[in-house]
Amino acid sequence: MSVHSNLRHFHNLLTPQSLANDLPASRRENRTRLFTGPFFQEFWLLKFQQTLAAAISFSGVGLHTGTSVDLKVVPAPPNTGLVFERVDLDNFRIEANIKNVARVAYATTLMKRGVLLSTVEHLLSSLYILGVDNAIIEINNLEVPILDGSALEFITKIQQVGLKAQPAKRKYLVIQKRLYLKDHDKTISILPAESFQISYSIDFKHPLIGKQSFDFEASPETFAKEIAPARTFGFFHEVEVLRKNGLVRGGSLQNAIVLTEDGILNDILRFKDEFVRHKILDSIGDFSLIGRPLIGRIIAHKAGHAMHTHLVSKILSDRSLWRLESDLGSKRSKAGNNYSYRLPRTVNSSRPV
């Protein structure tokens, strides 16, 4: 069913939902059950590069193209980085770095020599924060599957196979000077910090959103619990225009929060502030295009893919803003890559919303 008729169908069936925090507890998702206990080591404590211990696969539709896609993330040698490989186009490779960013409207799209790779942000965000430095992402179409609109399935499968350390040191990009960018009422800045941190705020004139802000300090556990479950969102009144522009053709209530004038078409929100959390999820995917683990604090207000990627370009083009450092973790703790963690319980991410 097309997204439009799909949404109209739901529109007729459901009354827009009131505030999620007004819902009885039984109708809210129990997010405290997700990922209890330590699993992967902190993002900035890793001494050696890592790759996946085994390949993981995903299938679904692209949010914007609406076409089916199969994707497989496979282990890769040290210093490979995260690289997409279009298996439908003679294994054409597109490196996940800022030089290959083509479009930033509604999703982050990479392009190299005319070959596109779209909506990369949720997958890259997950790989980046969980500490996957090297991987080949084999894909047989031009858009990463949207799955349930969040990063839950990505992190669940990464956890299931685990990671392995590689014989090459991790090099951190450590911010040493402040950079501030402004575009009308949108702002973004980065400043020196002890770890990778993001403070994000948004302001939408909508009763379910309004002003929301969230502070995130990069850690696989916090990401899994607080950020990864947050879903993509969009406005119902924009759907028709977006579809005319070839966007959101695969969108449905199963993979996005759809906002009406005063509520949502979906049954529930996963968090009262799911919207700003999703902005953090997206932004990490964009910041990962810097190509190295980042140490610095980002403060963003009403920003989006365009500003995130602009910040990354600006940082990389000014060598005085940062330095590269290895052995960052050992300067702060005695730990190297520690693989004695216990894997947490798997999450069922296919639960309907």
Which are the catalytic amino acids? 305
Compute the chain's Rg from CA coordinates: 19
**CB-based closest residue to Zn ion:** 282
What 3-state DSSP class applies to 72?
strand
What does the DSSP assignment read for 122-152? HHHHHHHHTT--BEEEEESSSB-B-TTSSSH
Q: Which stretch in 108-116, 207-215, 274-282, 334-342 sits in contact with Zn ion by CB under 5 A?
A: 274-282
β-pair type (172-175, 322-325): antiparallel
Taking the least distance from each CB to Zn ion, the nearer of 76 and 120 is 120
Number of residues forming the site for Zn ion (CB under 5 A):
2
Q: Which stretch in 16-24, 96-104, 226-234, 316-324 sits in contact with Zn ion by CB under 5 A?
A: 226-234
DSSP state at residue 349: T
83 forms bridges with which residues in the sheet?
95, 136
* 219 counts as binding Zn ion under rule CB under 5 A: no
Binding to Zn ion (CB under 5 A) within 46-75 occurs at: none
Look up tokens 């894909």; give the residue.
139
Q: Minimum distance between the CB of residue 121 and Zn ion, rounded to whole angstroms? A: 6
Q: How far apart are CA 158 and CA 156, in angstroms?
A: 6
* 108 counts as binding Zn ion under rule CB under 5 A: no
Q: How far apart are CA 10 and CA 20, in angstroms?
A: 18
Taking the least distance from each CB to Zn ion, the nearer of 143 and 282 is 282
Q: How far apart are CA 205 and CA 199, in angstroms?
A: 20
Taking the least distance from each CB to Zn ion, the nearer of 236 and 322 is 236
The closest alpha carbon to 58, from 126, 154, 129, belongs to: 154
Q: Minimum distance between the CB of residue 333 and Zn ion, rounded to whole angstroms? A: 33
DSSP state at residue 238: G
The closest alpha carbon to 222, from 281, 161, 154, 296, belongs to: 281
Q: Minimum distance between the CB of residue 31 and Zn ion, rounded to whole angstroms? A: 18
Candidate list 118, 219, 232, 254; residue touching Zn ion; CB under 5 A? 232
Q: Which stretch in 163-171, 231-239, 250-258, 299-307 sits in contact with Zn ion by CB under 5 A?
A: 231-239
Taking the least distance from each CB to Zn ion, the nearer of 110 and 321 is 110
Binding to Zn ion (CB under 5 A) within 177-216 occurs at: none
Asked if 290 and 172 count as a contact pair (C-beta separation under 8 A), the reply is: no
* Whole-Å CA distances, 168 to 47, 48, 84, 322, 337: 9, 6, 21, 21, 12
Asked if 67 and 61 count as a contact pair (C-beta separation under 8 A), the reply is: yes
Taking the least distance from each CB to Zn ion, the nearer of 97 and 232 is 232
* 118 counts as binding Zn ion under rule CB under 5 A: no
Would you say how long the chain is, in residues?
A: 353
Taking the least distance from each CB to Zn ion, the nearer of 76 and 144 is 144
Q: Minimum distance between the CB of residue 206 and Zn ion, rounded to whole angstroms? A: 17
Candidate list 197, 282, 305, 311; residue touching Zn ion; CB under 5 A? 282
Q: How far apart are CA 92 and CA 117, in angstroms?
A: 11
Q: Which stretch in 12-20, 153-161, 211-219, 277-285 sits in contact with Zn ion by CB under 5 A?
A: 277-285
What 3-state DSSP class applies to 286?
helix
Taking the least distance from each CB to Zn ion, the nearer of 133 and 282 is 282
> Which residues of this chain interact with Zn ion, rule CB under 5 A?
232, 282
